[in-house]
Structure 1
Amino acid sequence: MKKKTMAAILGVTILASMSTGAYAATKLQEIKAYLNPGVKVKVNGTLVQLKDAKGSAIVPIEYKNSNYVPARAIADALGVAVDYDQATQTIIFGEKVEGTALSVGFDDMYYTKDPAFTSYKGKDYKEAYFNNGTGDRSVNFMLHPNKQYQTLQLQIAAIGSDLKNITVKDTKKDIILKEVELIKAEDGLTTIEVNVGGVEELFVEGSISSGGTVFVPLTTSHYK
């Protein structure tokens, strides 16, 4: 289950905090609402106390039979990063990247949200491609930019064994767009940049020896 907002879990509506400058730039309407301390919040079956940025306890606001809570309180309760872009008045949950994360619509048998597999060198990326299959093998997955982007920033790490002969292929035109001979386990997270302008479908492939794992953080790998 994706942790997009508390609306997906509790059916409540997000209320973002904005600065005085942001208020001046919007067409706000005054409303009459009520603090409702009777509303409790559970995350994965455990009761939690929502808190503001200063650590003070907060309660939901009730307005027209809907409960409103600050976005930051929800993000903290779920363990998800949150930011607010004042210029575009956009609430950003999860990793902040300058494009569209590969996690959007990614589909593969090695896709995971299990924290045991989404963390790399102490950082939890929340969603990842984690290929820990057995034996000497090919590792591969599909991507679908659908001609919407110019660049792919693909992050890959090899764990336990080196990743070899990495190719990124335009499957519709049968053209190899990028080749990387080797990503060593000691290299850490490596970024591969690929020009994907006009490309509909990509096939990413490499090979790894027995005992090796391929890790791709899907929240920070992205299209631009």
Structure 2
Amino acid sequence: MKKKTLAFILTLCMTVTGVICFAAGAAAAGGLQEIKAFLNADITLKLDGEAQVLKDANGVRTYPITYNDTTYLPVRSIAGLLGVDVGWDQATQSVLLGKQPSGIDLIDTYKAYYFSRDVGQIQSVEKKTEDISGVSYDHWIWVYFNGPTDRSVSFNIQGKHDTLTFSYYADCDTTLTVLGDNDTVLGEFSITGAKVAQTVTIPLFKTNELKFHMVRTGNGNNLRIFDAYLDAEQ
């Protein structure tokens, strides 16, 4: 059976231990809140036209829940039907869907030695957060275009790495070029403003210098680079 994206939005989060937790409006930001909801065994879930039985990690049948006229589905069960990996990060109280980044975190491991005007680096030790393309992050590279249209930031990664995987998002059309030693082009990307964040992987060829050079080509002001992971040192 082919795995297709379900034609509805899942609005419930569920811990991987099988304990259901609800985001009840704005109160979710304050932690767990007791509510009154109903297990709804009358609802049938179909995937590619075939009825499905939802089960938890122990194989026990689970059911949709109805709360305030909205139907919520258990994330682990849905992820299993779609063949999507699911995990739970206790430290950040986060449900993890899909393949998770691995390797050495560029932004938290290396401090940039050069920033052009209106460019900065936020590391997780600073305990700040920002919503980027609908997801909250605690470390990222920020770029603000105000005046001149080109910006850059440079790292020395000591010739230890072969690949870099990172995501980017901008609210303006931008050309993003990644450069290595002697300004060798490692990757170049044309970004369309306000589109969904993109993830790319580029070869590094054991470069020492790693430079992100951004040129704005349309209206808008902001670009973010995040989820940047280097392969483990060889």
Question: How high is the TM-score relative to the length of structure 2?
Answer: 0.48
In the alignment, which residue of structure 1 is the partner of 2:187? Answer: 178
Q: How does 1:8-47 map to 2 (within 5 A)?
A: none
Q: How does 1:58-207 map to 2 (within 5 A)?
A: 75=91, 79=92, 97-103=101-107, 104-107=109-112, 108=115, 109-112=119-122, 114-115=128-129, 118-159=130-171, 161-164=172-175, 166-171=176-181, 173-180=182-189, 182-207=190-215
Q: What fraction of aligned residue pairs are identical, expressed as a percent?
A: 16
Counterpart CA distance in 1 for 2:94 and 2:186 is 33
How far the C-alpha of 1:81 sits from its partner, in A, is 5.6
In the alignment, which residue of structure 2 is the partner of 1:67? Answer: none
Instruction: Report the secondary structure of 2:101's partner residue.
Output: coil
Counterpart CA distance in 2 for 1:183 and 1:80 is 32
Counterpart CA distance in 2 for 1:186 and 1:210 is 11
Q: 1:202 to 1:185 in 2, by over 3 A?
A: same
In the alignment, which residue of structure 1 is the partner of 2:220? Answer: 211
Structure 1: segments with no counterpart, 5+ residues = 1-71, 84-95
Root-mean-square deviation (Å)? 2.9
Question: How high is the TM-score relative to the length of structure 1?
Answer: 0.50
8 Å contact kept, 1:135–1:211: no
Q: 1:127 to 1:223 in 2, by over 3 A?
A: same
Counterpart CA distance in 2 for 1:163 and 1:121 is 16
Q: How many residues align?
A: 131
Amino acid at match of 1:175: T
How far the C-alpha of 1:222 sits from its partner, in A, is 0.8
8 Å contact kept, 2:151–2:213: yes
How far the C-alpha of 1:121 sits from its partner, in A, is 2.9
Q: 1:111 to 1:80 in 2, by over 3 A?
A: farther
8 Å contact kept, 1:162–1:212: no
Q: Which has the higher contact order (CA 8 A, sep 6+)?
A: 1
Instruction: Report the secondary structure of 1:185's partner residue.
Output: coil
8 Å contact kept, 2:133–2:169: no
Q: Residues 4-62 of structure 1: CA distance to partner in whole angstroms, max 9, x if unpaired?
A: xxxxxxxxxxxxxxxxxxxxxxxxxxxxxxxxxxxxxxxxxxxxxxxxxxxxxxxxxxx
In the alignment, which residue of structure 2 is the partner of 1:89? Answer: none
8 Å contact kept, 2:173–2:219: no
How far the C-alpha of 1:157 sits from its partner, in A, is 0.8
Q: 1:210 to 1:82 in 2, by over 3 A?
A: closer
Counterpart CA distance in 2 for 1:216 and 1:210 is 19
Structure 2: segments with no counterpart, 5+ residues = 1-88
Counterpart CA distance in 2 for 1:190 and 1:143 is 22
Counterpart CA distance in 2 for 1:82 and 1:157 is 22
